[in-house]
Structure formats: C-alpha cells, structure tokens
A and B are shown apart, each in its own frame.
Chain A
C-alpha cells in the first residue's frame, strides 16, 4: 500500500514553474531518494508535502485517501514531518525546549509535563549522539550539531512520512553514519522516508529507490541498483556525463608574477575550511558549484563584508577591516540581488553611478556620462530615478559604478541573476574588457552554462568548482564544460 501518492503536482511562482506534473508514490518502509540539481523543484516538493507551500494543481493521496494539505500543522497531524537546511530551531532556547516546542506533552491536558519533556529529549538526543547538550542554547552549538537537533526534533514527532531535505550536507561523516542508522530504524518501524540529496554515495547506501527531477519534471523512479551513478547524473543534468580527464589546457598567466590579490588560509564564513586563493592580472575566474557550498562566502569573505580579512594586494600584505577599506585597496563587489545590495532605488541614475568614485575614492575627473553611453544604458536622463529603468539596465548602472572606480579586482556574486540574455551578454563583454585592461575578475554563478560561455570566450580564464567550502577542482581550456562542472559539483565519494 502506498502511504503517499502524488499525482501530477504542479506549482508555479508567478511566471516561473517550479514543478510540472510531478508524480511520486512511496510505500510504508520505503526510503526514496529525490535527486535533482539547482532549481529542479525538489525543495518545492518538500514544502508542498510539508504544507508550507500550496499546490497550483495536482492531487495528493495519503493512505489512498485524497487529502488537501492546507497548512504545516495539518501536515504534522497526518504524520508528515519535514526537516530542512533552513533550521526551524529557536536560537535562544535550549535544545530541550526546542525539541518539545512542537508537541509539548501535557498532564491532564493543561499543565506542561516537564519530567516527560526531559525524558523524551534525552532519549532522542542519545540516539543522535548529542545527549550531553540537553540544556545548551542552540546558538552555542556547532552547525552540524544544530542540524542533528533539527533531525532529532523531526524524530520526536514520530513521523509516518519523514522528508529529509539535504540535511546531511551540513553533517560530518560520523554524523551521517548516525543519521543513516536512524533512517534504517525508521524504515523498520514502517515509516516512509523521502531523502532529498545530491550525494550519490549516500543515496546508494541509504535508499531503496531514487526519483530524478529536472527543471520541475519527474523523469522517473528507479531501483537504487538499477542505474549507474553516471546514468543518474546524465538524467539529472540532461547531458551525457562521462568521467573526463584533462584534455588540453588553456593559456595561463605566468605563475611567478605577483598576483593582484592573494589570500592565504582564508576562512570562509559558515565553513570551517581554510583555502588559498589568488587572482592574477588579466584573469577571469569562474566560481562554480551547487548553491551554498561556499562560492558566495568566498567573494564575501575577500571583501570583508562580515569580518576583517588579511590579503596580499599586489604583493603587499594588507589588513582589510571593512568593505570601505577594500574599496580603497582596489577591490569592488557586485551582487546579483540588486534590490537589497545593488541599487539605491529612490536615488537618481547619476547618484547610483557615482557612489564609489565620488564619495569613497574622492576622484573628481571621471567622465560618468561616457560610462553610461559605453554601457548603452537605455534612459531619458541621468537625473531619472534608477527605479524607472529595467532590471538589466539597472545592473548596467551598478556595473558602471564599479568600473568607474577602475578596480584591480572585481568580485561578482551571481551578478546576472534575473536579467535578460542581451543584458547578460553585455555584462560578459564588460568583464572581458575589464580583464583585458588588466583587472582580475572573480565571477560566482549558479548557472553553469553562463560560466562556460564567459570563460571559454576569454584567453586567461579558469573555472574553480567548490564543494563544502573547499575548492575541489580547477578547470581550464577545453575542460571547461557544463558537464564537467556538474560532475565535479557532486563528488561521488563523501570527502572530508
């Protein structure tokens, strides 16, 4: 009997379709993997089942009864529990308080049964191996321990259908083993588990079957031994994945010249890794990887956004204490989130353009009108508010702000997010021009195709692939392909 049966689930957010006619059925005691790349709709699926997102169309059957999951509390009542990367913990409460917040045991229906809370909390924490932390505040725990608490909280609710959304990516190898054993225990109790992951090794070790999602469409469900890893990856990315070895290398800058920027043992925020990173003159470095593996942290750490960083700039050791110092040292930063981090929406185009040159760098003789015309910003007048422009044109103005400063290094965090193809092409052109004129460019993108297009069209370029806060691969020349990027973004063994 299927505990859960989804038929033709669709979900669209405005014009974007997150899920399209996805169907999925899970039996009691089955552990099902859901595999998919960035934006394939796997988290949307989890949220629909958990009741936090409403369906656009489709039917969900629980125990073969048509059910309309209206809210998270409805889902919980029917035994559907979702654990996700976005923690649902309250950071200033203790572990014990957090564990019992969703199902507070009561005496005679009114009074909180403190003894039982404590007993149950200790029991469940012992299972995940962190029973010593019952009274610790969530804030004081390490990230992996926080995920374990999140996981324990899900178990405490005695789920009939447990949905695990990428929870293991924050865990250490030992923790993963614990989670694996617990899932096996759940399976024996007849609980159905949906395990959303992109780690092939875990999928083959834990799961019975695997469903593959791509661009919101369900491509099929297979027994875990039925398909090889490469076959699954091919399905997931829509391209032939084969193991590639280095074919031919592109042109590299002389490694002995002084790098424009060099970071030694850089600590990435949110990760406990240390990486070395350098940017040479005229170089474009694409930064690839699945979302949240440290790409964004890398550029943000280099720009000292949240904490000071020590960098060698043109061979000189400098302590960069804030973005203000970074800008004065020749770095600039552009974000893809224009609304929050790019434009000054109620100020004029000219105000937006001159923010760095005029105010921070105090350079007076910069011809700003010519920047607007070389970037072909479509506008009536530079005194117009920037909000009157289209997204792509707004981003061009923000780019103009950076280039007016003639920076040594440009740090770009997914800068083409949500702009149209032509504006994207323009952005690539600007970046190549800047690199040609001697700057270094670090370009983070969640779009692998884009990285290939940008780096393949420029001589001195490479793509680095990040995974869990580490640079796992460097691709140059002919090796830069979307297939290679996808393949190295998902290491086939759990690495530590």
Chain B
C-alpha cells in the first residue's frame, strides 16, 4: 500500500508531485520570512486569489492545447470586458444572474470565433490575432459602458470571498467544480479528446478523420467563454469593476498554464496543473510583497521567473524528443 502510494507520487510518473512539493516549500519559505504566512487566513487568501488565476489559466490552456502555436492573449481583455459588462445585464438582481452570464458568454463565443476564423482561415499567427483582438475587446468594453461601470453586483456574488470552512472560501468551491467539469469534459467527451489529438499532431488527426476546424473553433470559443466566466467571478470577488481591471491576467494565465505542465506546442496539459501553477505564482507574488519590495521590482522578478521557467520547460521538451 505504502509502496503504491510512493510509486504514484514518483515525480517522473506523476506530473503533480513536483508542483505540490514546490508549493509546500514556498509556504515554508514564506513562513520563515514573515510570521503568519501560514495562518489559515493567509492560506485562504492565497487560494482565493489563485482561483481567479486558475480560471484564466483554464481559458488559456484550452487554446494552448489545440497546438499550432495556439495562444490566447485576449484572455485578460475578455475577463475585463465581462467584469465591466456583466453587472449591466443583471443590475443587482440575483434572478437575472443566469441571463447575465449567458449574455457575456455569448459575446465571448463571438470573440473566440473571430479569433479562430483569423487563425484558421486567414492564417494570422494566433499571437498577433489574439493580441489585436485584445485591443478590440478593450475598445468594445469602453464603448459599451462609456467608461462608466453601471449596474450593481448581485449580493450573492459578493459572497464568493466569504469563508466556508477554514481556508476554504466559496470561490474555491466554484473553481474546483469548474476544474472537475472541464477536466472530465476533456478526458471523456469526443470533442474534448479531439482537442488533445489535434494539438498533438494536426495532420495525424486530420488523417484519422477528426474535423480540425470544428475542434479549433470549439477550443477558442470555450477558452473565451471561460475567460468571460472568470471576469464575472473577479467582479464578484472584488466587489467593483474597472476598465482593464484584468489585463494582468493574460500573462498570469500563460504563466500558470506553463508552470502547471501545459506544453506550448499543444496536445498536453491539464486543468489541475493550471490550478497548481496558479497557486505557485500567487505564493511567489505574496512572498515578494512580504519582502516589502516596491511594485516595479516585484513585476520585474515575476517576469524574470516566468522567462526562466519557459526556457527550462521548452528546453526540456526538446531534450525529451
């Protein structure tokens, strides 16, 4: 029994062992630097902030998985848009919440479909396509709200930050449900499994009879929808919306996905990995804050760490081949 458990945790077999160890080490490090780092309250904070990054990472991973240099740099913009526009649709009324979510997801689907069209039919590199789309979405949000967030957030949404038990808050539960749902979808459904296969080898997928267009459109649309959902959760958690409030989430989403083991070349990656990656990146930010570093230096270090991780991971892939 014990041997089985050890075998299951073997880092070369289990992709989650290394990130979990890193998380534990970083919590310990944080505790050494600042008393109270491992308090229930702070752990709760870290997990809750990670949840928002996780949703962004799920959105990003869906697009990274499809391969062909797939990446979605409009994740942050779509989240901001959704945070800004969402409240307009429900206007403080909890019963209109499903309608508001549906409306925002519809807009996100259109954005995803435009991204996919540009990438697949006009052969625009995904990096460029989604970067420009990010600007378009920001403009759309500004035009739609005239820069003034209107409508208020239903009370039930504000509960997302409330504690359920110990460090567990409502947002964490919602996120876990989303992770489980997406993970099951990707592993069990035909469309989900095609995403992995198309990402792993597009030509082989085509020759097996899998429709590349359908799968790619789905991945981009699902990614944008997930980002829109993330924006909704963000505004609920923070209590108010601002223009471009989620723009930093684009980089965070790529960071969390890559740290969580998603291959930038496609075909490999999990949502659980994205969650662990998000926690690692959030603790890093937390530690840097605890060190009282000025904002600029913090961002500098975060970016450098991400670059190093990218270099190590992409090199690792090459070495393995």
Residues of chain A touching chain B, judged by Cβ–Cβ distance below 8 Å, are: 303, 305, 322-324, 326-328, 333-335, 340-347, 351, 355-356, 358-362, 401
Contact = CB atoms under 8 A, between A and B. Distances in A.
Contact of A326 (B190, B205, B209, B268): B209
Interface in B209-229: 209-211
Contacts of A341: 201, 203-204, 207
Contact of B193 (A328, A346, A351, A361): A351
A346 B268 contact: yes
Contacts of A323: 206-209
Nearest to B189: A359
Query: Which of B201, B207, B211, B267 has the most A CB atoms < 10 Å from its CB?
Result: B207
Contacts of A344: 196-197, 200-201, 204-205, 267
Contact of A347 (B190, B206, B210, B267): B267
B321 to A, nearest CB: 8
Contact of A355 (B203, B210, B263): B210
A297 B196 CA distance: 29
A324 B211 contact: yes
Contact of A359 (B193, B206, B268): B193
A355 B268 CA distance: 16
B80 interface: no
A199 B48 CA distance: 74
Contact of B205 (A322, A345, A355, A361): A355
A328 B204 CA distance: 16
B59 to A, nearest CB: 22
Given A341-B203, A344-B200, A347-B197, A355 B267 contact: no
Given A351-B193, A358-B190, A346 B263 contact: yes
Given A334-B207, A341-B204, A359-B208, 12 more contacts: A305-B206, A323-B207, A324-B209, A324-B211, A328-B209, A344-B201, A345-B201, A346-B263, A346-B268, A355-B208, A356-B209, A360-B209
A355 B207 CA distance: 10
Given A343-B201, A344-B200, A305 B193 contact: no
A323 B207 CA distance: 6
B41 to A, nearest CB: 41
A341 B193 CA distance: 18
Query: Which of A322, A323, A344 has the most B CB atoms < 10 Å from its CB?
Result: A344
A120 to B, nearest CB: 36
Nearest to A402: B208
Query: Which of A322, A326, A328 has the most B CB atoms < 10 Å from its CB?
Result: A322
B282 interface: no
Contacts of A343: 201, 204
A449 to B, nearest CB: 27
11 contacts: A303-B207, A305-B206, A324-B209, A327-B209, A341-B201, A344-B200, A347-B197, A347-B200, A355-B205, A356-B209, A360-B210
Interface residues of B, number: 19
Nearest to B317: A346
A341 B206 CA distance: 9
Given A351-B196, A359-B197, A342 B209 contact: no
B194 interface: yes
> Which 8 A-B residue pairs are closest in the complex by CB-CB distance?
A327-B209, A344-B200, A360-B209, A355-B208, A324-B209, A346-B268, A359-B190, A341-B203
A34 B203 CA distance: 37
Contacts of B197: 344, 347, 351, 355, 359
A327 B208 contact: yes
A356 B210 CA distance: 8
Contacts of B204: 340-344, 355
A106 B197 CA distance: 53
Contacts of B209: 323-324, 326-328, 356, 360-361
A211 B8 CA distance: 63
Contacts of B205: 344, 355
A276 B200 CA distance: 36
Query: Which of B194, B203, B267 has the most A CB atoms < 10 Å from its CB?
Result: B203
B269 to A, nearest CB: 10
Nearest to B214: A324
Given A346-B267, A401-B208, A358 B193 contact: yes
Nearest to A338: B204
A89 to B, nearest CB: 22
A305 B263 contact: no
A334 B190 CA distance: 22
A346 B197 CA distance: 9
B314 to A, nearest CB: 14
B17 to A, nearest CB: 17
A231 to B, nearest CB: 43
Contacts of B268: 346-347
Contacts of B203: 340-341
A346 B270 CA distance: 13
Interface in B43-97: none
Interface in B164-216: 190, 193-194, 196-197, 200-201, 203-211
B23 to A, nearest CB: 25
Contacts of A340: 201, 203-204
B196 A359 contact: no
Contacts of A356: 208-209
A324 B207 CA distance: 8
Contacts of B211: 322, 324
B193 to A, nearest CB: 6
Interface in B288-304: none
A356 B208 CA distance: 6
Nearest to B196: A347
